[in-house]
Structure 1
Amino acid sequence: MTAPAATALAPGLTEELRAAVGEAHLLTDPSIVASYETDWTGRFHGRASCVVRPADTAQVAAVMTAAARAKATVCVQGGNTGLVGGSIPVDGAVLLSTARLTVLEPVEVAAGQVTAGAGVTLAALQRHVRAAGYDFGVDFAARDSATLGGMAATNAGGERVLRYGTTRAQILGIEAVLADGSVISRLAGLPKDNTGYDVASLLAGSEGTLGIITRLRLRLAPLLTERAVALVAVDGIAGALTLLQTARNRLPTLEAAELFLADGLALVREKTGLPAPFAAEHPAYLVLECAGRTDPTDDLLAALDACDADVLLDATVATDTRGRHTLWAYRESHTEAINAAGVPVKLDVAVPLTALGELVAALPTTIAEAAPQARLILFGHINEGNLHVNILNATDRAEAVTDAVLHLVAAHRGSISAEHGVGRAKSRWLHLSRSPQEIAMMRAIRQGLDPDALLNPRVLLDAPPPTDRGPAGANSA
C-alpha cells in the first residue's frame, strides 16, 4: 500500500517558513523531501509537506511561531538514527531538521564543560573535546550520524553507561524552543541549582514532545588514554553475569561490558568476513573495556584469572589501538550485519539482572510462536540488563512479535524501552512500563506545554502503532 500524499501547507505558512530559514533551507521538492521520510533501517516511512533547516535557536523559534499560528504539526529530525519511528514525519507535517544547529563553543577547561548545538554529531563532539584533553561520557556505534539533540531527546545510553550514566546524566543545561515559539534557555552549567523543576531533565527523554532542543550544556569526562579490551567467551548468560560481577568488583577502571551470543557472532562473520576470535565456538561472549591514566592491562588480566575455568572458556586481550578496534568490531558490527541480512524488527528492552537469563531463554519460543520463520539475534549492554532484540524475517508479523516480546519483558518486571525511546512504534505498549497515574501525569505536562499537540504528533503518547513495511510493501509511519 502506498503512503498517502502529503497535506498541503496552510496559506501563507510557506512564505513565513521561507522568511524564517531562507529560500535555500525550505525544501519542498518531493524528490528531496523523500530523503527525510524514511528511517535508516528502512522500516518506518512517512510524509512531510516540506523540510525546514534552521541555523540557530532564533530561526527554530520563528518556525514554531509560524507553525503554531497556522496550527501546523512539526516533526523533528536529527541524525535519523532512531529505531522506533520517532523521527519520521507523519500526516504531511513540517519536518524540522536540526542538521544546521552545529555550533561548538570552546571547551571551558576549568569547568570541564562545553556548549554544543543539537545538530552536532557525537563523533564531532568527541573530536572537539578530546583536542582539549577531555572526553564525553556517552559512546555507541552510530557516533558518526547520531546527533546530540536526538541523543538528549531519547536519553540515549550506549556502551559507557556502566561508568558514566546515560545522556541525561551528562546534561548540565539546555536551550529549547516550545510549541508556541517561546525559548527556554538555561546554559550556565551550574552543578548545583535547586530553583524548582529541572527543565533539562524534563526535556531529556521527552522525545521532542515538549520542546525542540537547540543547544546543550554538557558535562565532560577525563580523557583516559590508557586502555585495554578483552573479548571473553563464557558458558552462557549465567557465566556472563558471574564474570560481570567479578569484573565490577575488581576493576574500578571498567568502562564497558557488552554481550553477544553465538548466533550474532556467526552473522557478523558472515557479513563482514571477520575471522573466528577463538579456535572453538562458544555460547556467549563479553567485550570488556578498561580505561585509566595508567595501563589497566595487568588489573584486567588479574580479574580474568580470578574467574572459574568453567565460566571463562577463552579470552584474548588487546592494548594497542588496532587490536582494541578489532575486538570491538565483533560487537559493534552487529547492527551492520543485521541490516545486511534484511529489515529487522528491532526492540530495545531491559530487565533486572536476576531475570536476564530467564528472558534470554524464553525469547526464542515466544518469537517463534508469533513468527515461525523469524531469526533472532541478541546483543546488548549486560550491566544494565539491556538487550537489543533483533528479529529478522518478521516484518509481516511485526505487531504480533512486538506484542509478544514486550509482554514477556513486562512479565519479568522490565522496561519496553531501555535507551531508544518509545517513539511511535511502541506507544501502544507504554502501559506495560508506566502506571496509569504516571501516564496521566505525562499527558498533563504535555497538554500544558503543547495544548494543540503540534510537536511530534503520535510520539510517546496518544499514538496508534505505525504501519511499517518490509521490502515488498510501502506504508506510512
Structure 2
Amino acid sequence: MLESTLAAVVGREQVLTDPAVLAGFETDWTGRFRGRARLVVRPADAGEVAGVLRACHDARIPVVPQGGNTGLVGGGVPRDGEVVLSLARLDTLGPVDPVAAQVTVGAGATLAAVHRHVAAAGLEFGVDLAARDSATIGGMVSTNAGGLRVPRWGSMRAQVAGLAAVLADGRVISRLAGLPKDSTGYDLTGTLVGSEGTLAVVTAVRLRLVPATRRWTTATIAVADIVAAQRVLTAARVEVPGLTSAEVFYDDGLRLVCEHRGIAPPFPTAYPVYLLLDCAGDADPLISVLAGSAEVLDSAIAVDEPARRALWAHREGHTEAVNALGVPLKLDVGVPAAAVAAFERELRSLVAPARLVLFGHLAEGNFHANVIGAEDPEELTGAVLRAVAAHGGTISAEHGVGTAKARWLPLVRSPVELSLMAETKRAWDPGGLLNPGVLLQR
C-alpha cells in the first residue's frame, strides 16, 4: 500500500525495493553502520518530499533522510525497516545573487558543485571538506559540518542565511529570503542547523558567500610536539590576517597516507608532528612566522596550485588511508585549547595497544581519532568520551551525534538541556517518525 502511494508521488522508478540496490543505502561508507530499509524513495523536489512525508506520516512509518551518505556516526543509515528518503535528486543550483553575496541550492547539491557554481560569479563558499565531491549541503546543514576553513569563516551554521524544510506530516517551512536582519521571533532556521534530520527534512538552503580568494599560500611545518604546534599557531593567528586553516597530523599518519597514495612526504627527514597552515594572500606573513619561531624544525611553502594540492594531500588522504586498513572506530571530539596537549596524552594511553591514527583541526581543538583493532569498541568509546567531558570538551565537534553517540550525550548536556531537546523534538515531530534513535535515544 505504502509503495504504491509513494509511486504515485515520485514515479514508480524512484521507489527502490530491490535488495541489491537497497544495499548501497543501508550502510555508511566506512562499513561500520548497517541496517535494513523498508524501501528507498527518491523525490525530485520539495513538493514530492512533502508528499512522501505525508504518506509515511499517515501510515505511521518512520523515515531516515539521507544525503551523500558520508556521515560517520550512523545518522543517515536505516536501522530497523524505515523508509530511506534520499535527497540526491534535489541538486538544483540557483542563480548567484552578487549584491547579497548569497545563493540558494538544493539539499542534494554536493559541496564541490556549489564551489564550482559560485566561483563563476567571483565568489566563494566558506566551508570546505575533504569529502567535497560526495558530501551534500543538506547533510552538512543537518550536522553543522565544520571542515577545513573554520578559523576564517566558521562552521556551517555561520553560512546559512535561510532554508526550506518539510515537517514529518508534510507541512512546509520556507525561510529563503536571506534577510541580513530579521527580529521576528524564534530562529527556526537556526534550530534546524545541527538537528540531524530529527525535526524536519531540509530541502533547500540559502547560503552566504564570501569574496573569492585570488592568491593562496600553504605551508607544512614540522614541529616536535602538539605544544610546539600550538605555539606556532598562536603566532600565526597574530601575524597572518588571512589564516584560513590550521591542520595537525602525525608522522605515523603521514607515512600511512604516502604509502596508500604512492606520494612522497614533504621532507626527506621524518618529524613527530606536522602543522599545515593555509592562508589567503601572499607568503610574506607566513615566512615571517616561520623565521621567527624556534619551534619550527622544517617547513615547506607552496603558492602555486599544484604544489599546494601536494601539501594538502598529506592531510586530506588520512581518511581513505585509514579505511584501507579495515573498518575503523572513528571518534570526532573537541577539547578547549588549554587541554589539547593533556588530552592527546590521555587519548594515546586509553587507546593502547590498539592502533591510533590521529589528525584534526588544531585551531578548534578538534581531534579525529581513528582506532584500528580496538578489542571492545563500545568500551573504548565510553572511556574516550568520558575523558573528553572531563576536559570540558564535546563528544562531537563536527560529525554530529547520530546513533553512535546518542547514549553519551548526557556527558556534555545537562538534564535541563536534554529535556528541552526532547520537548523540541515532540513539538516538531510528535509521532517520532523522523530519524528515530538519532541524537536523542528512543
Task: With the length of structure 2 as denominator, give the TM-score of the two structures.
Answer: 0.99
2:286 counterpart residue number: 300
- Contact kept, 8 Å, 2:9 with 2:51, in 1: the verdict is yes
Question: Which of 329, 332, 337 is the aligned partner of 2:316?
Answer: 332
CA distance in 2, matches of 1:274, 1:393: 26
**Paired letter, 1:442:** M
Question: Which of 371, 378, 381 is the aligned partner of 2:361?
Answer: 381
Alignment of 1:93-132 (within 5 A): 93-132=82-121
Alignment of 1:135-154 (within 5 A): 135-154=124-143
CA distance in 2, matches of 1:271, 1:242: 31
Unaligned runs of 5+ in 2: none
**Paired letter, 1:86:** G
1:401 correspondence with 2:380: yes
CA distance in 2, matches of 1:267, 1:462: 36
CA distance in 2, matches of 1:434, 1:247: 33
CA distance in 2, matches of 1:363, 1:386: 13
Question: Which of 4, 7, 30 is the aligned partner of 1:41?
Answer: 30
Alignment of 1:275-354 (within 5 A): 275-292=264-281, 296-308=282-294, 311-354=295-338
1:358 correspondence with 2:342: yes
1:3 counterpart residue number: none
CA distance in 1, matches of 2:322, 2:22: 27
1:430 counterpart residue number: 409
CA distance in 1, matches of 2:141, 2:192: 8
1:32 correspondence with 2:18: no
- Contact kept, 8 Å, 2:142 with 2:197, in 1: the verdict is yes
CA deviations over 1:294-347 (Å, ceiling 9, x no partner) = xx1112111211212xx1100010111100000001100000110111110000
* 3-state SS, counterpart of residue 324 of structure 2: helix
**Paired letter, 2:278:** E
Task: With the length of structure 1 as denominator, give the TM-score of the two structures.
Answer: 0.92
**Paired letter, 2:396:** S
- Contact kept, 8 Å, 1:257 with 1:288, in 2: the verdict is yes
**Paired letter, 1:275:** A
1:475 counterpart residue number: none
CA distance in 2, matches of 1:36, 1:279: 43
CA distance in 2, matches of 1:450, 1:277: 51
2:398 counterpart residue number: 419
Tell which deviates more after alignment, 273-282 or 81-90.
273-282
Q: Note the aligned Cα RMSD (angstroms).
A: 0.8
Unaligned runs of 5+ in 1: 1-11, 464-477
**Paired letter, 1:145:** S
> What percent identity do the matched residue pairs reach?
55
Question: Which of 238, 243, 255 is the aligned partner of 1:254?
Answer: 243
- Contact kept, 8 Å, 2:265 with 2:314, in 1: the verdict is no
* 3-state SS, counterpart of residue 341 of structure 1: coil
**Paired letter, 1:441:** L
CA distance in 2, matches of 1:82, 1:333: 17
CA distance in 2, matches of 1:403, 1:225: 45
**Paired letter, 1:403:** G
List structure 1 segments (4+ residues) > 4 angstroms apart after TM superposition. Answer: none
2:2 counterpart residue number: 13
Tell which deviates more after alignment, 258-267 or 139-148.
258-267
Tell which deviates more after alignment, 208-217 or 281-290.
281-290
- Contact kept, 8 Å, 1:367 with 1:404, in 2: the verdict is no
Count of residues in Structure 1 that have an aligned counterpart in Structure 2: 442
CA distance in 2, matches of 1:412, 1:436: 19
- Contact kept, 8 Å, 2:102 with 2:209, in 1: the verdict is yes
1:196 correspondence with 2:185: yes
